[in-house]
Amino acid sequence: MTGISTVPTDIVITNQRPDIVIVNRDSNDITLIELTIPFYTNIENAHERKKDRYDQLVSEINNTNYDSKLYTIEIGSNGLINKDNCDKLFEIAKASVTWTFDTVSNRKFKFDTIANTLFLSCKCVVNI
């Protein structure tokens, strides 16, 4: 394969390049994040297009000993973040905070407080 892949080639060989790939080799999890900035009237179409584009890659990864999760994040060109995307961003943020605190300080009591703060901030931005 030529070019640069964002997915480690020891897991699966692909020409597809999601914007962000997070690999947890301890738990055999891979998180794929694809970011799109469509015109606000095309947010749903962009979501379906990106989901369809990466469905095969998700299946290929799941056929290895890894579990994968795809997040397609669409933020309108005017800054619109709909509730679905806000929920996805919150889920990613909560997982990141959980992993960071679990790995660095092992202070599990802080996860929900920080994640809820992030979620409330997102709610204020999109006026859910």
- What are the pLDDT digits (tens) for 86-102? 888 888 877 766 555 44
pLDDT, averaged across the chain: 77
Q: What is the DSSP letter of 108?
A: G
Helix (H), strand (E), coil (C) string for 18-63: CCEEEEECCCCEEEEEEEECCCHHHHHHHHHHHHHHHHHHHHHHHC
pLDDT for 1: 44
- The mean per-residue pLDDT over the stretch 104-123 comes to 48
Share of the chain above pLDDT 70, in %: 71
Residue 48 reports pLDDT greater than 90: yes
Residues 38-44, mean pLDDT to the nearest whole number? 90
Q: What is the pLDDT of residues 51-77, one digit of tens each?
A: 999 999 999 999 998 999 999 999 888
> What are 69's two structure tokens?
């999760």
Level-2 CATH architecture, domain 1-79? 2-Layer Sandwich (3.30)
Domain definitions of the chain by residue range: 1-79, 81-128
pLDDT tens column, 14-25: 889 998 888 888
Task: Tell me the C-alpha to C-alpha distance, in Å, between residue 116 and each of 6, 18, 29, 88.
Answer: 30, 27, 24, 14
